[in-house]
């Protein structure tokens, strides 16, 4: 699990984007809570990755076990770990603030949280 930590941030947000529609069928409030939990989890994993990069050095993850000439290599160095942490903290603060505005601005409708999770998953993948 620890060796897979660089790739857990985008996968956590993608998993939330898949789970949210299933939960939103019964309870629309559950979708927001799952998004906040996934965002908080991504902040925690990004902070862990940042400290791990400071202690160990750049982290490299090979998707599917294939080496770089054939497969995809995901490298997390100190700059990309810092950018990922800043993006996740800002996204978490914005999502928490959006929860209070949801009731005031969009009454009776759900906020599009699924595209938010997909978007920040893509940002995480691009920043690393």
| Per-residue pLDDT tens over the stretch 65-111 | 777 778 788 888 999 899 989 989 988 988 888 766 655 555 555 55
Query: Residue 49's closest CA among 81, 83, 9?
Result: 81
- pTM more than 0.85: no
d(CA 15, CA 17): 5
42-30-105 Cα angle (round to 5): 95
Mean of all residue pLDDT scores within the chain: 79
Q: How many CA atoms lie within 13 A of 53 on its CB side?
A: 24
Residue whose entry in the numeric block shows the structure tokens 């982290």: 59
């Amino acid at each position: 699990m620890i060796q897979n930590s660089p790739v857990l941030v985008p996968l956590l947000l993608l998993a939330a984007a898949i789970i949210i529609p299933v939960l939103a069928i019964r309870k629309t409030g559950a979708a927001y809570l799952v998004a906040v939990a996934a965002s908080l989890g991504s902040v925690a994993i990004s902070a862990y990755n940042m400290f791990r990069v400071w202690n160990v050095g750049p982290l490299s993850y090979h998707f599917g076990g294939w080496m770089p000439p054939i497969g995809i290599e995901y490298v997390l160095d100190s700059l990309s770990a810092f950018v990922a942490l800043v993006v996740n903290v800002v996204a978490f603060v914005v999502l928490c603030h959006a929860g209070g505005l949801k009731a005031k601005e969009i009454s009776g409708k759900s906020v599009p949280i699924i595209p938010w999770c997909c978007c920040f998953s893509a940002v995480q993948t691009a920043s690393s």
